Amino acid sequence: MALQGNVGHVFPRVNAKGNARVHLGDVHNHIELSNDQQKCHQAFKTSNYEQYKNVNPERAPDTCNWVTEHPTFKRWHESDCDELLWVSADPGCGKSVLSRYLVDAWLPQQSYDTVCYYFFKDNDEQSRLAPALAAILHQLFGLRRDLIQPCALSAWCATGDRISEEATQMWRILEDLKDTDPESRGPLVICVIDALDECRDNDRRQLIEFLCRLHANRSARTQDHAILKIMVTSRPYDSVERWFSGVSRQFPQIRLRGEDENDPINNEINLVIQHNVHRLAQEYNLMQGTKDRLLGVLLDMKHRTYLWLHLAIEDIREALQLGLLPDTVEVDAVPSSVEDAYERILAKVKAKQIPVVKRILKLIIAARRPLATEEVAIALALASRSDNDNSPELYVNAVHVEKQIREWCGLFVFIRDSKVFLIHQTAKEFLLTSLDVALASGTNWRGCMMQSDCELEMARAAVRYLLLDRFTCKAGNLFKRPGEPHIVSPKPDVRERADFFKYSAEHWAADIKHAGINETHIIVEQTARLCATRATHSDSWFNHWQYCKGRYVDELLEHHVAVLVGSLATLVYLYKTRGFDLDAATEKDQTALACALRFPHEEIIQVLLEWGTRVRWIDLQATARGRVDSGIFQVLFKRIPEHEMHDVTAVLSTLQTAVLYGNSKVVEILLKSGLIDRTNPIFSHADTLIYACRGGHAKMVQLLLEHGCDANVVNPAGDGALDWAMLGGSDTEIVRMLRAKGALTRSERAESEPESEPG
């Protein structure tokens, strides 16, 4: 399998004083990888991270210096140890442009070994932590193949490709990078993480905790660890500041406050204003007086940002284009703010086009990844239909729609690689309202939409498209590895590509959920029909959904499908209109509760429990894998029937599952329940303790030892818990706990055994 090239950047390294270090990139990147090492590397390729970076514009000349010449940035750059830098700045100040400039140009010029990056965005595709860490590791191992074996291979062997969804495990790999060449003083790894505020809430909190822990513990890192420098950018939001507060109080030098750098930023904006006005003067042959008036108006404007300047310049350019005599055009009334500029752009939409423009903007806002123009065209074509129109005829002209989007929406959106984007995150914030009802549709566009209305618009398009039944998706495709080609075939006379089919299959249930509608809405009756197709079509949309989840489940009932995809409204509709046995199971023992625990859907779990569904030990074992909150496990645990509570085999099986998946809270609940007899030999089975040591779960090892687990038990291969614990180092917390309980390594056990006397 060929490794993907062009990831990150590799350069000779110099230290702060300019002394040359050993250049490792070329030395190690010729290494031939084993098949497992290649698979391990490719397991981390889960996103188009390079496209996420390149969608941001390149910097204007002589900008971004307010960061690169700042003492705080220089300290971070010149440090010879692990360092964290948090750059905060207000919206529109060019944080993402800065990040791209650092990754593409500035850092390479400083001759760093390895530069990795990730750009968060407020959509499902770019807002999660796991794909971000996977992207960074994929870039890192593409540049430093020698690090795959010592740093990641054992973790990949233990978890397989699902490691790309294990954020904690991936962070541990990044945090514990080892130096493979002692002469080099450790590989220097630079990570640039952009738009932390656009990472989803729980993931953002977890990442900040990781970053703070790394910085707080940097002095305890051993010399064989890699030097790891991380820079993150964000808006100065309370939700970000709150989680950084502990480490930023202790280490105030980690933060560069762009919101306090108004003068340097304004000076750079002045340079860009002069550059743009000079270009306009040349382009339209303006007289010096007109040029001076333009400069005066723009330079005198308060509260300027790069985004505002871009919109203001384009507003002036349009006025000059439309004017018969450019030097007589009124230029005093340039937009006073970004919001003013947005209003001016959308005010140009003709009255008869406002409904379709609003529909386009709702689709872009609700999209969980950037939509292609063909997908927008399909959604618009479906929007003109009635809810009961399932005619297979669908005429789509993506070229015409792309042209019209540019014409109607102007600068408010841009199209790159045939995908549609809002000009900036602030454009989405401008349109949306936090009120219970969107503002009246007068002449103002600000606050004219609600997020739930946008979600409903997308849900309608997705569900209607799937009901047209235009594509086939065979079950055989489901067993390919994630990342390998997955073919969804159009049926005869279908011209569209399968992109919107895939999008609709993956996301319609989430759209329904976030639209906030209940089972009485007409679209829910349509989603019930979608779930019913699972029983009649073996090549339906559901096969693609299962492929995306990496699992294939056959012989499901229609309400099982609703549960698996997470559509509570559809489940309630089916329960109220058709009725079903809550505990009905398939031949493979799938119940509604088992399906809800599979991915999981905690809201549906709660409803099923309220309805009185039966709880089995097999359900608790699924929960022990750590996919749901430990509070859910505790609720389920209390619902086990009394006559099944003392099934020792089931209890121990659940315990071992929790240990295997690193779920220490479930282990604690089971150990403290009193159900496990410490004398039971299965409890002291080597795998129980070895799994905990292998995963590096110190708290779990402590719990097992405190409850009587034998520290010296060995598996059939002769390995003990201490043998596995020593792989992480000879002086770790787990090793110390095992030593305190008298644990021995394989060699120590061999030495302590008495020699047999000769016969």
**Confidence bin at 183 (pLDDT 50/70/90):** low
Task: Answer positive or negative: Cα dihedral of 588, 591, 593, 598.
Answer: positive
Mean pLDDT of 175-186: 64
Give the separation between CA 639 and CA 613, rounded to whole angstroms: 10
Give the dihedral of Cα atoms 624, 625, 627, 632; nearest 10 deg: 0
Q: Which of 199-203, 216-220, 400-404, 456-460 has the lowest mean pLDDT?
A: 216-220
Which residues, including other chains, have CB under 8 Å from residue 204's CB and lie 6 or more apart? 129, 196, 197, 239, 240, 243
Fold assignment, 34-56+64-260 = Rossmann fold (3.40.50)
Average pLDDT across the chain, whole number = 85
Domain ranges of the chain: 34-56+64-260, 263-336, 349-449, 470-493+500-614, 616-752
What's the pLDDT at 181? 61
Mean pLDDT of 500-511: 95
Which CATH number fits the domain 470-493+500-614, given the four candidates 1.20.1260.10, 3.40.50.12140, 1.25.40.20, 1.20.1250.20?
1.25.40.20
What pLDDT, in 10s, does the model give residues 59-81?
998 899 999 999 999 999 988 88
Q: Is residue 738 over pLDDT 50?
A: yes
Instruction: Write out the two tokens for 645.
Output: 């509570």
| CA-based nearest residue to 192, from 31, 53, 392, 370 | 53
Which residues, including other chains, have CB under 8 Å from residue 431's CB and lie 6 or more apart? 361, 365, 445, 446, 447, 448, 449
Alpha helix positions (H), 251-384: 262-283, 288-300, 306-322, 338-347, 354-366, 373-383
| H/E stretch holding 34 | none
What pLDDT, in 10s, does the model give residues 291-347?
999 999 999 888 889 999 999 999 899 888 887 888 887 776 788 899 999 999 999
Q: Is residue 225 over pLDDT 80?
A: no
Beta bridge partners of 343: none
Give the separation between CA 4 and CA 2, rounded to whole angstroms: 6
Mean pLDDT of 501-515: 95
Mean pLDDT of 280-293: 92
Share of the chain above pLDDT 90, in %: 46
How many CB atoms are located within 10 Å of the residue 605 CB? Answer: 23
More reliable by pLDDT, 713 or 58:
58
Burial class (CB in 10 A: 0-12, 13-18, 19+), 442: exposed
| SS3 track for 12-33 | CCECCCCCECCCCHHHHCCCCC
Q: How much is the pTM?
A: 0.81
Mean pLDDT of 536-540: 68
Q: Is residue 756 over pLDDT 80?
A: no
What pLDDT, in 10s, does the model give residues 261-273?
888 999 999 999 9
Instruction: Give yes or no for a contact between 298 and 277, defined as CB atoms under 8 angstroms apart.
Output: yes
Q: Is residue 752 over pLDDT 80?
A: no
Alpha helix positions (H), 367-498: 373-383, 398-409, 425-431, 451-467
What's the pLDDT at 285? 92
| H/E stretch holding 227 | strand 227-234
Two domains, one topology: 470-493+500-614 and 616-752: yes
**Confidence bin at 186 (pLDDT 50/70/90):** very low
**What pairing do the DSSP bridges indicate for beta strands 9-10 and 114-119?**
antiparallel
| Superfamily covering domain 616-752 | Ankyrin repeat-containing domain (1.25.40.20)
Beta bridge partners of 413: 422
Q: Which of 94-108, 228-242, 345-359, 665-679 has the lowest mean pLDDT?
A: 665-679
**Confidence bin at 628 (pLDDT 50/70/90):** confident
Q: Is residue 120 over pLDDT 60?
A: yes
Give the separation between CA 693 and CA 741, rounded to whole angstroms: 14
Give the separation between CA 158 and CA 152, rounded to whole angstroms: 10
More reliable by pLDDT, 108 or 694:
108
